[in-house]
Structure formats: structure tokens, C-alpha cells
């Protein structure tokens, strides 16, 4: 039905065109009549002249009206044709079945269709081609973005630019088909040459993105994001520490490089970062321990930190002061025994390793000078701290003062009180009077003290005269808890290996594992930055790093 209406419209348009010709013919006839009338009016004189002029004006008015109407008809004709063809595609025209009656009308319609077909063929581009052109351009953009490795190939980039130019030049179906084929050929070329993939940088970004997602689930997303920056800072810090080590020791360049490379694995054993280990070695070098001795004491510093949960500063002062006080000459074995014994005491009694370490640092030298063994000092510290809950510095200072008083033979107040308590400061050996050790005096003093009634004046005299005004409370805690002190002596002797056991726990907690993982990142970055490292070693580190990422 719609096709028939379209045909009728075209026929009507042809009729309008015919009427237009007729109008033009009529205009010419009227103009001819007007010219004749003018000529007649010129020849005729008198009253008929006015009548002729009136007639001429009427005729001219009619001519103007006819011309105006002809122009309007011409515009309407063009508008009607445009409107009729607006929603008709070339395919619609080709498939129309002409069934208008009358051979003359049929010929007119066929001619009109031929004209329309010619106009359609001359149209530069259709709406469908435009859409496909835009779609093709978007597909190329998406393909280049998805397969970013293409950016690494200059020839393929040039091919992509040429393809983009071809897409911009599409103006008909044939050129569209040609560019589509070229695009397929381009993709085949990328696939065959191995560039149909993500670039290395994009794969790294993707990996970091995935690590960040996993990290977010465990609340450590920030670690994944900042690891590389932290590694660079750590490497710079390590380099500065190694420079200082080179100034305080005779280490060769190769030895320093090996030390820097081994720091990551060594620190990971104790759940610490590499800079902790190098700093410990630096401090040991400054104290006169170089080479293997410095490295061994550096490891012991990390062991102390991990086992006792103390700072690097506390651990270093503790080991160095103990070593100096008891003359261990840097013996790692003897210092480890001290650490094990004291650590075991802290595990079984209400005292922490930081208190034990700082008190040992304060009182160690005086204890050694007065004949108090390290295990005895450890038991004294443990007993006083468990009962007073005072800080290690206060406990150590109190013990130091107490030991001084127990050796002050010139104080009649002290010696007199000790004599009253059957805990003499001296004894006669082979006819010679000698000072008794503080532990021997305290043992006798504790026996008397604990046997006295709470209201006995001697009890108060002991704590006041021997402990002094500032440390009477500490002496009271030690004497009243002497049974605990003797028990701690036994615990100290059973502490072998306890520090390493504690350190293993610290190395395998969350903080320790994260530090170990950070060491792996740092070691990998250090290997990449060190141009002297062999390629195989760098690959080995990267392989181990990727394994640790997934395992951790």
C-alpha cells in the first residue's frame, strides 16, 4: 500500500510539472496580447485609449499573479519530492513492483525511479557506512589498548597509524570493505609476531593491582603499593651504613659487597630488616669487633631483639656492657648463655627482658667487681622486678647501690646492723680477715630477715641501714623473696637455647613474615640496581621473590 502511494505521489509531481509548462505557455500568450493592445492603443487616439490602458493593467496584474503562483508551485514541487524520498533507501527503490495503470504513467514513474537511483548512487556516503566507520575506529583503539605490547614495535605502530588514516578516508561500501580486510590482516600480523599481548609494564601494573586487591583483604594494601619505594630507601640506607663500616674497619670492597648482599637473608632469620643487621655490625665495629667477630655479634644483637622484644639500642648496650663487665672478650658463646639464662627467667616469672637487660647494663660492672656471678645478678634482678614492678634502670641502680653498701667496711651503721642479723660482712680464712661476697651476706641476711616478726625493729633497721633511704623497698623485696631468687638460679641454668626458640616465634609472626617478605623485595631491587650482578643471580632472586609472594 505504501509503495502504491509513493507511485501516485510521483505521478502527481509529474502532473505538476506539466501544469507548470502550461502556465508558462499561457503567460507567453498573455504577454503577446498585452503587446498587441499597447500597439493598438498607440495607434488609436481618443477615448478608447483609457479603456485600453485599464485592460492592460488588468492583464499585467493577472500575469504577475500567474508568475507568482508558478514560483510557489516550483518550491512546493521540490519539497514534495524531497519529502517523498526522505525515508526511501536504494534497496527499497530497487525492489518496488510498478503496477500503476496506464503505459504513459508507467513510463513516467520508471523515468522518475531512474533519476532517483542515479541521485542515490551519487550520494557520497550512507548513514550505515558512517556508523560502521565509527565502529571500526573504536575497534582499532580497543585492540591497541588491550594489546599494549604493540607499543614496543615501531613498524607495527606505523602500520596502526596508516590503518587509522584509511579508516578516516572511508567514503563508500567498497572502501569500508577494503579497510576491514586491512584491519584483519593487521591483527594477524600482530599475533604472528608475538605482539598480541600486554606490554611488560602493563603486566607489572596488573600484578601490582592484583597484589593490592589481595592485600586489601588482609588489611595490608598499603604495603604492596609502597614496597618498591621502601626498597629504594632501604638500599640507600644500607649503602650509607656500609660506607660507615668501611671507615671503622679494614673490610675490602668485595667483603663489603658480600656483607650487603647477605644482610637480607641473615635479617630474615630473625624477622628483622636488613638495615637492623648492618647497623648492629656498625656498632660492634665501633666497639672494636671487626670481621667475623663483628658479624657474629651483629647476629646476636638481632637474636636479642627478637627473643626479648627489645629495641636495637637496648640490645646493643646490653651485650656490650655485659661483655665488658664480665670480661667475655666478645665471646658469642658466653653472651648467648647469658641471654638464654635471663630469657628463661623472664619466661617463667613476672619480669620482661627489657627490664632484665637495662638492669644488667646498670649493675653488671659493680656486680662483677664485687664477685657476683652473672646468674646471681640475673636472679637478683628477676626477684626485685617481679615484686616491685619497677623499671630496669631503677632496679639496676638499686642493686648497684646495695652491692656498694654490702662492701662498705668503713660504715659502722652497716656493719653493726649486719652483725646483729648474723650476716657479717667479713670472715676469717686461714687467720686472715676477708670480705664476704654480697650473695653470701644476702643469704644469711635473708634467713634472719624472714624469721623476724613484722613488728621487730631489726627488720626495719636492716632495710633502712643497708638498703638506704632510696633503696630500702628493693632490699625488702629481695630478702622477702629469697626463695624465688634461688629458684631463678635454677631456671637460669636450664635456659640453654631458649632465646633462639623465642626468636623463631618472632620471626614467624605477622611482623616477622612481612619483614622477611620486604627483605626479599629489597634483595631483588638491590640485585637489579647492582650492575655487577650476573643475570642468572638476578633471575634466581626474581624466581624466589615470586614464590615467596604466593607462599606468604
CATH number at residue 8: 1.20.58
Asked if residue 134 and residue 98 are part of one domain, the reply reads no
3-state SS, residue 411: coil
Mean pLDDT taken over the chain: 75
Residue 426's DSSP bridge partners are 435
Cα-Cα-Cα-Cα torsion 40, 44, 49, 53, nearest 10 degrees, comes to 10
pLDDT of residue 171: 84
Q: Are residues 476 and 354 both part of a single domain?
A: yes
What is the C-alpha to C-alpha distance for residues 333 and 461, in angstroms, rounded to an integer? Answer: 43
Burial of 526 (C-beta count, 10 Å sphere; 0-12/13-18/19+): buried
Q: Is the confidence at residue 66, as pLDDT, over 60?
A: no
| pLDDT for res 23 | 58
Of 357 and 228, more confident: 357
Residue 434 lies in a domain: yes
Per the structure, how many domains does the chain have? Answer: 3
Q: Contact at 8 Å (CB) between 274 and 263?
A: yes
- No. of H helices and E strands in the chain? 25, 2
Tell me if 436 sits within 8 A of 426, measured CB to CB: yes
The pLDDT, as a whole number, for residue 195 is 73
pLDDT interval class at 337 (50, 70, 90): very high
Residue 4: all three cell numbers together: 502504491
Alpha carbons 86 and 275: distance in angstroms, whole number: 80
| SS3 state of residue 435 | strand
In this structure, are residues 364 and 394 in contact, taking their beta carbons and an 8 Å threshold?
no
Q: Which of 102-106, 202-206, 268-272, 352-356 has the highest mean pLDDT?
A: 352-356
Asked if the model's pLDDT at residue 265 lies above 90, the reply is no
155 and 273 housed in the same domain: no
Rounded-to-integer distance, Cα 290 and Cα 251, Å: 8
- In angstroms, the CA 370 to CA 34 distance is 153
Asked if residue 113 and residue 52 are part of one domain, the reply reads: yes
Outline where DSSP puts E strands in 197-338.
none
Strand partners, 338: none
Cell of 81: 519530492
pLDDT at 220 over 50: no
Q: Is 103 exposed, middle or buried (0-12, 13-18, 19+ CB in 10 A)?
A: exposed
Q: Give the pLDDT of residue 268.
A: 84
Q: Is residue 234 part of a domain?
A: no
Last residue of some domain: 198, 226, 261? 198
Same domain, 455 and 502: yes
In this structure, what are the phi and psi dihedrals at residue 289, rounded to the nearest 5 degrees?
-110, 115
357 and 488 co-located in one domain: yes
For residue 529, give the nearest of 266, 239, 267 by alpha carbon: 239
Question: What pLDDT is recorded for position 225?
Answer: 52
On whether residue 537 sits in a domain, the answer given is: no
Whether residues 111 and 153 share a domain: the answer is no
Q: For residues 16 and 41, state if they share a domain.
A: yes
For the segment 84-106, the average pLDDT, to the nearest whole number, is: 45
Residue 550 lies in a domain: no
Coarse DSSP helix, strand, coil percentages of the chain, rounded to the nearest 5 percent? 80, 0, 20
8 A C-beta contact, residue 461 and residue 415: no
Of 66-75, 133-142, 311-320, the least confident: 66-75
| Tens-digit pLDDT profile for residues 269-292 | 888 888 888 888 888 888 888 888
Neighbours of 523 (CB within 10 A): 24
Structural domain contains residue 242: no
Q: How many residues does the chain have?
A: 552
Radius of gyration of the chain (CA): 54
* Predicted pLDDT at 249: 79
pLDDT score, position 126: 47
In what helix (H) or strand (E) does residue 498 lie, and over which residues does it extend? helix 498-507
Helix or strand run (H / E) with residue 433: strand 432-435
Q: What percent of the chain has pLDDT over 70?
A: 64
What percent of the chain stands above pLDDT 90? 18
Of the three residues 69, 103, 121, the one that is the final residue of a domain is 121
Give the Cα separation of 463 and 444 in Å (integer): 14
Is 334 found in the same domain as 297?
yes
Residue 356, pLDDT score: 92
CA distance 518 to 24: 98
* Residue 241: strand pairing partners: none
3-state class (DSSP) for residue 426:
strand
Beta strands in 96-177 (DSSP E): none
> How many angstroms separate the first and last alpha carbons of the chain?
76
Q: Are residues 497 and 378 in the same domain?
A: yes
* pLDDT at residue 139 in the model: 86
List the domain range (segments joined by +) for residue 192: 127-198
Q: Is the separation of the CB atoms in 27 and 67 below 8 Å? A: yes
Residue 450 inside a domain? The answer is: yes
Residue owning grid cell 658463646:
333
Which of 100, 121, 142 is the C-terminal boundary of a domain? 121
Distance (Å, whole) CA 291 – CA 258: 12
Segment holding 142, helix H or strand E: helix 127-146
pLDDT for residue 498: 83
Residue 497 — left, alpha, or beta (φ > 0 → left; ψ -120 to 50 → alpha)?
Answer: left
| CA 361 distance to own-chain centroid | 42
Q: Are residues 259 and 336 in the same domain?
A: yes
Average pLDDT (337-359) is 91
Q: What are 236's three cell numbers?
A: 640507600
d(CA 350, CA 484): 11
Quick check: 101 and 7 in contact, CB under 8 A?
A: no
In the beta sheet, which residues pair with residue 428?
Answer: 433
Place of cell 631458649: 498
Residue 323: per-residue pLDDT? 92
pLDDT of residue 511: 75
Alpha-carbon gap, residue 96 to 98, rounded angstroms: 6
In a domain, 215, yes or no: no
Question: Both 88 and 138 in a single domain?
Answer: no
Q: For residue 227, how many C-alpha atoms fall within 13 Å in the half-sphere facing its CB?
A: 24
* DSSP annotation of 126: -
Is position 539 within any domain?
A: no
Amino acid at each position: 500500500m505504501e509503495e502504491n502511494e509513493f507511485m501516485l505521489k510521483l505521478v502527481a509531481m509529474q502532473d505538476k510539472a506539466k501544469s507548470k509548462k502550461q502556465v508558462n505557455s499561457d503567460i507567453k500568450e498573455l504577454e503577446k496580447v498585452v503587446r498587441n493592445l499597447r500597439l493598438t492603443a498607440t495607434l488609436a487616439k481618443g477615448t478608447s485609449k483609457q479603456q485600453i490602458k485599464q485592460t492592460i493593467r488588468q492583464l499585467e496584474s493577472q500575469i504577475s499573479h500567474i508568475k507568482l503562483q508558478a514560483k510557489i508551485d516550483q518550491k512546493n514541487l521540490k519539497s514534495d519530492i524531497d519529502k517523498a524520498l526522505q525515508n526511501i533507501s536504494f534497496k527499497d527503490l530497487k525492489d518496488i513492483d510498478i503496477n500503476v495503470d496506464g503505459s504513459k504513467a508507467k513510463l513516467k514513474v520508471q523515468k522518475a525511479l531512474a533519476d532517483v537511483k542515479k541521485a542515490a548512487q551519487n550520494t557520497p556516503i550512507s548513514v550505515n557506512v558512517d556508523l560502521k566507520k565509527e565502529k571500526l575506529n573504536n575497534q582499532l583503539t580497543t585492540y591497541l589498548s588491550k594489546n599494549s605490547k604493540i607499543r614496543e614495535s615501531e613498524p607495527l605502530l606505523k602500520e596502526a597509524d596508516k590503518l587509522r588514516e584509511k579508516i578516516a578516508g572511508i567514503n563508500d561500501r567498497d572502501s569500508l570493505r577494503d579497510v576491514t580486510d586491512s584491519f584483519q590482516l593487521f591483527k594477524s600480523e600482530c599475533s604472528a609476531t608475538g605482539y598480541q599481548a600486554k606490554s611488560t609494564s602493563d603486566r607489572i601494573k596488573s600484578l601490582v593491582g592484583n597484589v593490592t586487591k589481595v592485600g586489601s583483604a588482609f588489611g595490608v594494601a598499603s604495603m604492596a603499593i609502597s614496597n618498591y619505594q621502601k626498597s629504594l630507601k632501604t638500599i640507600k640506607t644500607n649503602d650509607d651504613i656500609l660506607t660507615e663500616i668501611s671507615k671503622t674497619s679494614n673490610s675490602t670492597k668485595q667483603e663489603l659487597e658480600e656483607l650487603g648482599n647477605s644482610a637480607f637473608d641473615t635479617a630474615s632469620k630473625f624477622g628483622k630488616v636488613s638495615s637492623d643487621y648492618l647497623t648492629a655490625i656498625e656498632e660492634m665495629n665501633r666497639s672494636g669487633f671487626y670481621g667475623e667477630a663483628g658479624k657474629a655479634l651483629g647476629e646476636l644483637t638481632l637474636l636479642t631483639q627478637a627473643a626479648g622484644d627489645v629495641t636495637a639500642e637496648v640490645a646493643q648496650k646490653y651485650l656490650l656492657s655485659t661483655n665488658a663487665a664480665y670480661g667475655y672478650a666478645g665471646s658469642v658463646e658466653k653472651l648467648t648463655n647469658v641471654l638464654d639464662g635471663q630469657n628463661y627467667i623472664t619466661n617463667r616469672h613476672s619480669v620482661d627482658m627489657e627490664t632484665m637487660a637495662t638492669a644488667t647494663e646498670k649493675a653488671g660492672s659493680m656486680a662483677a667487681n664485687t664477685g657476683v656471678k652473672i646468674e646471681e645478678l640475673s636472679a637478683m634482678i628477676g626477684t626485685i622486678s617481679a615484686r616491685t614492678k619497677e623499671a630496669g634502670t631503677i632496679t639496676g641502680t638499686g642493686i648497684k647501690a646495695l652491692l656498694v653498701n654490702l662492701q662498705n667496711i668503713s660504715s659502722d651503721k652497716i656493719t653493726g646492723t649486719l652483725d646483729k642479723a648474723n650476716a657479717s660482712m667479713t670472715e676469717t680464712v686461714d687467720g686472715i680477715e676477708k670480705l664476704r661476697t654480697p650473695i653470701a651476706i644476702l643469704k644469711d641476711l635473708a634467713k634472719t630477715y624472714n624469721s623476724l616478726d613484722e613488728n621487730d625493729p631489726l627488720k626495719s633497721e636492716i632495710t633502712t641501714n643497708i638498703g638506704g633511704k632510696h633503696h630500702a623497698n628493693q632490699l625488702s623485696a629481695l630478702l622477702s623473696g629469697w626463695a624465688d631468687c634461688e629458684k631463678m638460679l635454677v631456671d637460669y641454668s636450664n635456659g640453654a637455647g631458649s632465646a633462639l626458640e623465642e626468636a623463631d616465634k618472632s620471626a614467624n609472626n605477622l611482623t616477622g613474615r612481612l619483614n622477611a617478605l620486604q627483605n626479599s623485595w629489597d634483595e631483588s631491587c638491590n640485585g637489579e640496581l647492582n650492575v655487577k650482578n650476573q643475570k642468572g643471580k638476578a633471575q634466581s632472586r626474581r624466581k624466589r621473590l615470586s614464590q615467596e609472594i604466593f607462599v606468604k
